[in-house]
Structure 1
Amino acid sequence: MTVRRTSSGAALEELTTGSGEPVTVFAHGLAGSIATTRPFASGVAGTKVFFHARGHGGSSRGPMTYEGLAADLREIADAHGATRALGVSMGAGTLLRAAADDPRRFERLVLVLPAVVAGPRGPEAVAYWRRVFSAEPDELAALLSEEIPPEARDSAREFVGEQVAALTGRRGERMFGEIAADNPLDDAEPLKAVEVPVLLIGAEGDARHPAEVTRRLAALLPNATAHVYPEPGLLWRYRGDLRARISGFLNASA
């Protein structure tokens, strides 16, 4: 693990694995981490660059806005010569902002569980996050475990515990409060200029990441392929299929 200082003064933890071309940068979601993002890179060829966004891991806190997150991501991508990128949830929103700002910056993009494009979040998502921040730790652990198949919950206990720790208390509420007040874009129209291949991954029944957002992006992006799984909990229920889709897409020639 190394620390990169950006031009804005942010100190971001990063981890590089693999070698050679292509170079892919991976952006995690809110309360996520390098560790929770690495499973999406299994089978992806070349060099993989992971980093902790502002306010996560050992990275400096800084303001949590999509503009700032996208600027951080671009600097990391530029430093490593990354031509491909994958983002999960908040990371997907970060990539949307980066792609809208520079439609040809990346050759291929993967957006996993995009939560919002432009405009406020839907009432279901707002209600979910209200439940999160009003819950006691044990209640929150039970809520987060609902996405995980019963047979996998014992092995997922450490993962759930990390999420609870990140989302409880002032730090978690502050982080979400800042990013919830922002959107990747004020207007989705610029996405129509993003002509590079994009793989969209969504899930039915996910209150945080409505499948409708994935479908909306599929209609907006000129060269998008979308796959919506029938249930949430992608890494628990569909890990093999998900990895195959992502690696097959990112390993393809541009």
Structure 2
Amino acid sequence: MMRLAKNSGAALRSRRRTVREGRFRHRGAELVYDDAGEGPLAVYAHGGFVSRAAEDRMGLFDWAPVLDVGVRLVRYDARAHGRSTGEPVDSDYTYPSLAGDLLGLIDHLGAAGPIDAMGASMGCGTVLHAAVRAPDRFSRLVLLIPPTAWTTREAYARANRESADTVEREGVDAWLAAKRKQPRPEVVAGVPPFRPTPTERVLPSVLRGLARSDLPSPTAIAALHQPVLILAWVDDPGHPLSTAETLAHLLPHADLHVSRTRADIRTWGERIAAYLTRPQS
């Protein structure tokens, strides 16, 4: 009896972790996604310049606990990132444009009601703009490492415009060499480096599109009614704690957790799983 229960549990976990690949066309691009697990739908949008596969190699976020609690998890490669296609059009890579891709994916998946949405960095901006545009399509939000916003955004935007010029003038390797000279946050110092997944032809447009982006206005964010979990780390100018703290203050139903060690970041999967299965009031 005990052996049967154990084997049945292992079989259930295996089904939940079986990954099905899908793709759909939206606004001239083919977007590729992974679809795993069974249960309520949650969609995840990754950060800028990476992809599903790059994040997996970096080893920062563990999605197994989310699948183990009975969630259908869809992770997709943003336009021009990873295995998704995209053209060198700056406006395609602004947060509002990327939010349109996310809403298109939700339509493609045939979601019957509100879904949970999660996003890291660029994906955080994507999710927030989608939620502001179509709040009734989302039940809960999880915002990982919110990026620069509002008063801290201009310096980031200026650096991105300069980076786009460098890539066009000297190539992507020159840009990466300059980035390697910049100090990395201690909490992620051991994370393997990665090359940007957008091609060199498209990368300048991605950089300029992000330079033209910002989070929604504080007033728009304060109007969101969904429960929100915010996961942040410290000492990262690209993802300043000030953004996470401001979001926690603005959002009427927000929980903020700040990690100061890599070991604590490894708990984020369990924290997300607990949050997505917590009864909503």
CA distance in 2, matches of 1:132, 1:237: 32
CA distance in 2, matches of 1:42, 1:144: 31
| Displacement of 1:144 | 7.2
| Displacement of 1:126 | 5.3
The partner residue of 1:221 within 248, 251, 258 is 251
Pairing 1:10–2:25 present: no
CA-to-aligned-CA distance 1:216-247 (integer Å, 9 cap, x gap):
1111111011112236xxxx442432222111
What is aligned with 1:49? Answer: 74
Q: Secondary structure at the match of 1:107?
A: strand
TM-score by length of 1: 0.81
Bigger CA radius of gyration? 2
What is aligned with 1:181? Answer: 212
1:212 is aligned with what amino acid? S
RMSD of aligned residue pairs (Cα, Å):
2.8
CA distance in 2, matches of 1:40, 1:223: 25
Pairing 1:67–2:96 present: yes
2:252 is aligned with what amino acid? P
CA distance in 2, matches of 1:176, 1:136: 12
Checking the alignment, whether the CA contact within 8 Å between 2:62 and 2:266 is kept in structure 1 is: no
1:33 is aligned with what amino acid? S
1:95 is aligned with what amino acid? V
TM-score by length of 2: 0.74
What pairs with 1:74-85 in structure 2 (closer than 5 Å)?
74-80=103-109, 81=111, 83-85=115-117
In 2 relative to 1, CA 239–211 (structure 1 residues): closer, same or farther, beyond 3 Å? closer
In 2 relative to 1, CA 132–192 (structure 1 residues): closer, same or farther, beyond 3 Å? same
| Displacement of 1:172 | 2.9
Gaps of 5+ in 1: none
Checking the alignment, whether the CA contact within 8 Å between 1:83 and 1:106 is kept in structure 2 is: yes
What is aligned with 1:91? Answer: 123
Checking the alignment, whether the CA contact within 8 Å between 1:137 and 1:168 is kept in structure 2 is: no
CA distance in 2, matches of 1:77, 1:40: 23
CA-to-aligned-CA distance 1:72-94 (integer Å, 9 cap, x gap):
10121233326101100000001
The partner residue of 1:190 within 213, 216, 220 is 220
CA-to-aligned-CA distance 1:193-212 (integer Å, 9 cap, x gap):
21111001112211101110
Gaps of 5+ in 2: 1-20, 167-173
The partner residue of 2:202 within 152, 171, 174 is 171
CA distance in 2, matches of 1:253, 1:32: 33
In 2 relative to 1, CA 179–127 (structure 1 residues): closer, same or farther, beyond 3 Å? closer
Identity of aligned residues (%): 29
> How many positions carry a matched residue from both structures?
238
Checking the alignment, whether the CA contact within 8 Å between 2:46 and 2:123 is kept in structure 1 is: yes
Checking the alignment, whether the CA contact within 8 Å between 1:40 and 1:246 is kept in structure 2 is: no
